[in-house]
Amino acid sequence: ITVAKGLGNGVPIGVVMTTLKDIFSPGDHGSTFGGNYLVTRAAYEVLEILESYKNSGGLDESMLYFEERLAGFVKHYPEIIEKSVGLGLMRGLRIKSLELLNTLVENAFDEKLLVLKAGRNTLRFLPPLTITREEMDEGFARLEKAFAKTGE
């Protein structure tokens, strides 16, 4: 398993995780920037923050709320949305056509909401794990306007 980007919260780091049977022998893998104490400490702090947030129950609440809000869009816009897909906060809405998806992305941009496509027909959502309910509400309010405009 490889992990990068979010692990350092803006500080460049990458990690390779493996099983004992696949472990490298000394000298099999090297890195010009390996052993960087600053980067390692930043990653440690990110993991501590995420662990604390996870243990507080906030992450579970955020995931449930996010899923409920997306389900509301599926129910309210059956002419545009096929279904909700994904897990946790890594979610998407399957849109019935590429034309509708492109229009929706443009309309969201007009509402100052940056959303991206994934695959052929999915509107992708990947908020930070620490997103607040207020931030979700603001984003979903803008998304609602984009959907309403798309459905006209």
Reported as a single tens digit per residue, the pLDDT across 62-112 is 999 999 999 999 999 999 999 999 999 999 999 999 999 999 999 999 999
What is the predicted pLDDT for the residue at 32? 67
Q: Is the pLDDT of residue 11 over 70?
A: yes
* Residue 61 CB neighbour total at 10 angstroms: 11
Give the tokens for residue 61.
């609440």
Better-predicted residue by pLDDT, 125 or 26 = 125
What local confidence, expressed as pLDDT, does residue 8 receive?
A: 82
pLDDT higher than threshold 70 for residue 141? yes
Report the C-alpha gap between 51 and 122 in whole angstroms. 30
pLDDT surpasses 90 at 31 = no
* Average pLDDT of the chain to the nearest whole number: 90
The enclosing H or E element of 90 equals strand 90-95
Contact 84, 70 (CB under 8 A): yes
CATH superfamily of 58-150: Aspartate Aminotransferase, domain 1 (3.90.1150.10)
**Which residues of the chain form CATH 3.90.1150.10?**
58-150
Two tokens at 120?
Answer: 């052929």
| pLDDT at 65 (0 to 100) | 97
Confidence class for position 9, pLDDT limits 50, 70, 90: confident
pLDDT at 27 over 70: no
